[in-house]
Structure 1
Amino acid sequence: MSWFNQKQNAVLGVDISTAAVKLLELSRVGARYRVESYAVAPLPKDAVIDKHIANVNVIADAIKSAVKQSGTKLKQAAVAVSGSAVMTKIITMPASLSEDEMEEQIMVEADQYVPYSLDEVNFDFEVQRPNENNPDMVDVLLAASRKENVDDRVETLLKAGLKAKIVDVEAFAMENAFSLLADQFTDASEGQTVAIADIGASMATLNVLHGSKTVYTREQGFGGKQLTEEIQRRYGLSYEEAGLAKRQGGLPDNYAVDVLEPFKRAMVQQIARSLQFFVSSSANRGIDSLILAGGCASIPGIDKLAEQSLGVPAYIANPFINMALSSKVKPQALSNDAPAMMIACGLALRSFE
């Protein structure tokens, strides 16, 4: 189980979220990335429940259709488990140990760190930096997840004809993708605290990064599904029709004022609440800027509303802004989907480590 750096060839980033499967293939020429292929395939309502795979076959079919739609030839993939399914911990170990010796020692001491028996868990570790208090020790990041979370994703990819080369953690994939955004903000310099609010169909995840490293993650049940359900209720549509109308328009004139505006306010309130938890959970002053990601970040004007309400600069995530595009990628479609492609992008970047 490789969660951290291993040299490898190109991998397809596959993000399995509640509402869709998102695929992305990147290449690199010199320092510049290029989007080779990408696709988004919708998932039916209960294929993924609370970040857990409920229906392997349905998701495998969606991945197959996304692979076909994207035209990618890659067979190796990187996929991620959600933050709530993963336990991470910083432990200190002697700097003199080799990687194999570290692994042995972690195996011996694992029951101190992980509340499950070892045969139920996949884990990986990465040396972070020398320990501040003792130069003979290093800080090691340990990540562990129950095997079922990992196995379900591996099996789903296999059924879709792909091989899981890497199982990552969503927060790390987000951190990886953030490296592409950092140069878009003049203020994302060292020492800045940036919050990424990733609002998907049913889950709102707040990742706070300080100096480009994740320092806080929180998941809340909230998302675009609530807007879809409200459209469904108010205009007498099926769930599928409501989702389509939400994306493509064609709803009555009162939609913007009566339905969309209240949802936008609820979304900003949700972000504000998560930020309050962050500030109170640590000795933090607050954040310097906010990045909006996930499908809900595409709602027009949400960045302005967040900026006014929260009093910090807010940006819509677009990890592709400085990338070249292959001829089979439609620029407008990619730009519309960009905020929802952060995790897929962080996974696809694993090709170049």
Structure 2
Amino acid sequence: MLRMPELPFLRPKKQPLIGVDITASAVKLLEIHPQGSRLQVASYGVAPLESGAVSDRRIKDYKSVARSIKRVIDRTQPTTLRTAVAVPAAAVISRTLSLPRDLDDEEMEAQVLLEADQHIPYALNEVAIDFQRLPPLNPDDDTQPVLLVACRKETTEQLDQVLEEAGLKPVVIDVENLAIERAIRLILDQLNEHQAEEGQIVAVADIGATTTTLNVLNDGEIIYSRDQMFGGKQLTDEIQRHYGLSREEAGFAKKKGNLPSDYFTEILEPFKTATIHQIERQLQLFYSSSNYHDIDYLILAGGSSVIEGLPDMARHQLGATTLVANPFAKMLLSDKVNAQALAQDAPAMMIACGLAMRMES
């Protein structure tokens, strides 16, 4: 088969992995271990990226990204170098096929290849392919649904290259949406403690550095996803422009909060308003393309979700119960994990968390 055996998309893995999330502004590494019936954060770290090292969801400067990853590895000393990383959902072609359920794995693989040629608009030698059997819709059916996943090899190979440059061993390439779903299960468990019911609609707004992604889930499965070019970089840029700072100075000042008193009224409040407007606009697009007219919960994720007052503003303007994502709320922490730092970074660690959880599969 044409998939790369050492980099499967969907094959379950038993050993602990480092989840690596490479964004436009930072690299994030997370290692999770099982501890009885619970999970433990064994190690984690975040390192900023140089400007332009990653652009338009593509790695432009491999050595720079690898250096940032190495810095995190040296600082956190993970117990494994086995790594899971994800490609954007937009880079993936997925189809659900209906195939005979009595095929063995070798026969199923051959049949998937035949079907793939009809569904993938690229030469098969240019793509990495994987598949996963799904539960039959009816136990008496002679067929079963099979999920076909394909991605251009150039996309997977650039991730492979930068991870190996950093000294890591890539063993899983996942899809960002699937990683998010995995992490969201932890959040949904927290919601269940607040009497969340089956069938309720949960929206997750991930406010990154340059992109805000809205994922809407029903019963823990993503039913809608959309990216908008808006994020925390706009706030950094405005701080830089307004106060005549360098990019690094503006980013540091934003994080530490040591800015003049007019910052809150002149810059921060307009940014918060713009953020809520972006989320509201994305929700309206979801409503207009579906049979849904409201959501039950809004979860804010990403680096900008921790801005003071943003959850209250979202709750007031959007009318939904709103909370900031923390997938680690019920996890144990190893002695070398700084609990305060992890709590601050938690909303931006959703993809890394979902990737590290692959060891549970």
User: What range is the shorter-chain TM-score in?
Assistant: over 0.9
CA distance in 1, matches of 2:100, 2:350: 36
Q: 1:347 aligns with which of 338, 349, 355?
A: 355
Residue pair 2:231, 2:304 contacting (<8 A) in 1 also: yes
1:19-68 Cα distance to aligned partner (Å, 9 max, x none): 10000111111111111111000001111112111111110100000111
Kindly state the Cα deviation for residue 254 of structure 1 after the two structures are TM-superposed: 0.6
- Aligned residue runs from structure 1 range 186-225, under 5 A: 186-225=194-233
* Equivalent residue number for residue 264 of structure 1: 272
Cα distance in 1 for partners of 2:138, 2:218 equals 18
Q: Which moved more, 1:168-177 or 1:191-200?
A: 191-200
Give the corresponding residue for 1:273.
281
Indicate which of 242, 249, 263 corresponds to 2:250: 242
Q: Give the structure 2 partner of residue 140 of structure 1.
A: 146
Distance in 2 (CA, whole Å) between partners of 1:281 and 1:254 is: 41
Give the match for residue 254 of structure 1: 262
Contact 1:193 1:210 in 2 (8 A): yes
Q: Tell me how far 1:241 sits from its aligned partner.
A: 0.8
Residue 111 (structure 1) aligns with: 117
Q: Partners of 1:189 and 1:124 in 2: how far apart?
A: 34
- Distance in 1 between residues matched to 2:264 and 2:82, nearest whole Å: 43
Corresponding residue of 2:36: 30
- Large movers: runs of 4+ above 6 Å: none
RMSD of equivalent CA atoms: 1.5
Once the two structures are TM-superposed, the CA of residue 271 in structure 1 deviates from its matched residue by: 1.0
**Deviation (angstroms), 1:188:** 3.9
Please state how far the C-alpha of 1:134 moved relative to its aligned partner.
Answer: 8.1
Residue of structure 1 equivalent to 2:235: 227
TM-score (norm 1): 0.96
Counterpart of 2:100 in structure 1 is 94
Deviation at 1:135, TM superposition (A): 2.4
Q: Which residue of 2 aligns with 1:293?
A: 301
Counterpart-to-counterpart distance in 1, 2:197 and 2:69:
37
Instruction: Identify the match of residue 66 of structure 1 among 60, 65, 72.
Output: 72
- SS class of match (1:129): coil
Specify every segment of 5 or more residues in structure 1 that has no aligned partner in the other structure, as ranges. none
Q: How many residue pairs are counted as aligned between the two chains? A: 353
Report the Cα distance in structure 1 between the residues aligned to 2:134 and 2:223, rounded to whole angstroms.
14
3-state SS of 2:349 partner: helix
Match of 1:122 among 112, 128, 131: 128
TM-score, reference length from structure 2: 0.94
Q: CA deviation at 1:313?
A: 0.7
1:161 equivalent in alignment to 2:167: yes
Stretches of structure 2 that go unaligned for 5 or more consecutive residues are 1-6
Of all paired residues, the percent bearing the same amino acid is: 48
- How many Å apart are 1:73 and its aligned residue? 2.9
Distance in 1 between residues matched to 2:98 and 2:285, nearest whole Å: 28
231-240 or 86-95: bigger deviation: 86-95
